[in-house]
A and B are shown apart, each in its own frame.
Chain A
């Protein structure tokens, strides 16, 4: 034979990962090199022994039920603006308030009472359920994100930014009417093309439902499922970005011209 197989080739041979030519090359080598055969045998035995000693892990009782509960339908939204404001005063869970900047990042201001756990949890459930309901996005909004601003102007009474996140690995999946706390909402959904969780962008007309300060961005997290939310206001609308990774959300916000430092 012309070429001596490497150790990695022998391992791949033991694992059945070589193509026909590679297998033949190794077979020829092994025919005259018994030490190579012992090595291949050791790889196989180790593989089998590893499976034998590490496979006896049983799923704990109750885990199946706990996972089944994860997928229960979300309760019907019961939010009203006044109710939201009332609980905002007592349920403080926002992890931090991030000063947004138009030109340069500024220091983080910690602790915001504005975004409650229930608010984030509610948005999180809508985020999940809408992502699984294809009909939600068949309500007459354009299917192309570039054509969306005009429709939102009609629907919300305000123009809104509708980002194209394809460069970040998120495909625009559609827009539908939604109900998260605060009133009439447009829900834009982006699905990951890389197996990550979806990103939702909720857009509402700004009617003072949350006492958000101009030029600030608020970050909150659902303590139960870890869903992250970034909230800010601008030009008559309130934006809520919801997903499972604060860095991805911050990147998405930057795509919309909002500079967020996390």
Chain B
């Protein structure tokens, strides 16, 4: 769908909070995120003519530009290695880990795990952190995440599953350490 420059500009500017949020969580650093977002918008404004508005809107397109710009920086700075094929295989093989975590966390009081969860997300390897954030915070569908990262949907799913398994394991440990489970009705009536 064709659109005018002002309409395009309004559309991309409306996504600034989302773009900045992802930049911040990827870089884990305010000034770097600021810089990365400016680079992203510069690239986006240059590439206006190539944008076609589809049903997903402009956000996946912008986030793909952001992701490419970020990866270029990572590559140049060698900040953090991305997941390898071996890591993907490990993700597939560890399917059973979710079972333990899922059961242990069934009645966890999620309101009390915020800080621990935040740290755990930030500690995820970049490849896993990326898919988790796109899915959880931005609410992206698997197909959109695959487009943003230019990878097959199967890889998105295995990375997302691995990310969640790692997080659930950490939260499960926390639940065990601190007894962060909701009080059962029987306990309340017994007071």
Contacts and interface: CB of A to CB of B under 8 A. Distances in A.
Chain A, interface size: which category?
Answer: 35 or more
B137 A128 contact: no
A42 B103 CA distance: 8
B149 interface: no
B11 interface: no
Query: Which of A46, A66, A134, A173 counts the most chain B CB atoms within 10 A?
Result: A46
A198 B95 contact: no
Contacts of B20: 57, 59-60, 63
The majority secondary structure among interface residues of chain B is: helix
A54 B50 contact: no
B106 A59 contact: no
Contacts of A198: 46-47, 49-50
Contact of A196 (B47, B115, B164): B47
B83 interface: no
Interface in A16-69: 17, 35, 38-43, 45-55, 57-60, 63-64, 66-67
A78 to B, nearest CB: 23
A112 interface: no
Given A8-B157, A12-B157, A15-B135, A127 B106 contact: no
B130 interface: no
B37 interface: yes
Contacts of A154: none
A96 to B, nearest CB: 15
Nearest to A243: B46
Contacts of B168: 42, 46
A127 B61 CA distance: 21
A192 B106 contact: no
Contacts of A67: 13, 16, 37-38, 41
Nearest to A226: B39
Contacts of B105: 42, 45
